Amino acid sequence: MKVNGHVNAKGRHREFAMASGEMDESEFRKFLGDTLGACASVSRNDAVHFVCMDWRHIDDVSAAADKLYGDLLNICVWNKSNAGMGSLYRSKHEMVFVYRVGDAAHTNNVELGKHGRNRTNVWDYASVNSLRGSRREDLALHPTVKPVAMVADAICDVSRQGELVLDIFLGSGTSLIAAERVGRAFRGLDIDPAHVEVAMTRWSDLTGKTPELVHRAASETAA
Instruction: State the Cα–Cα distance between residues 209 and 66, nearest whole angstrom.
Output: 41
**What is the mean pLDDT of the segment spanning 26-34?**
95
Digit-coded pLDDT (tens) for 103-141:
999 999 999 888 888 999 999 999 865 545 444 444 455
Closest-CA residue to 164 (of 149, 148, 185): 185
The predicted pLDDT at position 138 comes to 46
What is the model's pLDDT at position 10? 54
pTM exceeds 0.85 for this model: no
- Helix, strand or coil for residue 220? helix
Cα separation, 90 vs 140, in Å, equals 21
* Angle (nearest 5°) at CA 94 between 89 and 37: 135
Q: How far is CA 177 from CA 9, 70, 119, 130, 163, in A?
A: 27, 29, 22, 20, 15
Are the beta carbons of 93 and 80 closer than 8 angstroms?
A: yes
The 10 Å CB-count burial string (b at 16+, else e) for 4-36 is bebbbeeeebeebeebbeebeeeebbeebbebb
pLDDT per position as a tens digit, 163-214? 999 999 998 899 999 999 999 999 999 999 888 999 999 999 999 999 998 8
Fold designation for 25-221: Rossmann fold (3.40.50)
- The predicted-structure confidence for 61-110, as pLDDT tens digits, reads as follows 999 999 999 999 999 999 999 887 777 898 899 999 999 999 999 999 99
